[in-house]
Amino acid sequence: RAVDRGVKLVINTDSHHTSELGRMEYGVLTAQRGWAPTDQVINTWDQDRFLAWVASHRTAD
């Protein structure tokens, strides 16, 4: 399982039309069913943590 391996996740609406953009609860419920802790869900992080994570995962050009 991804959660057990520490994979970082992003929760989204899985929207296929702009009228579906408010359906974030589906993504949240799916993450909860998979026991995803908030520290593995990237879009729960504050900006500083996110930017530090991005910087630490950049590859050299």
In this predicted model, what pLDDT tens digit does every residue of 2-46 receive, in sequence order? Answer: 899 999 999 998 899 999 988 999 899 999 999 999 999 999 999
pLDDT at residue 14 in the model: 87
Give CA–CA dist 3/16, Å, rounded.
26
Find out whether 21 and 13 touch, Cβ atoms under 8 Å. yes
Q: Specify the residue for token string 């500083």.
A: 48
User: Sorting pLDDT into bands at 50, 70 and 90, what band is 1?
Assistant: confident
Question: And the tokens for 60?
Answer: 């050299």
Enclosing domain of residue 39: 1-61
Find out whether 3 and 18 touch, Cβ atoms under 8 Å. no
User: Sorting pLDDT into bands at 50, 70 and 90, what band is 61?
Assistant: low
Question: And the tokens for 57?
Answer: 């995962």
State how many domains the chain has: 1
User: What mean pLDDT is predicted for residues 42-53?
Assistant: 96
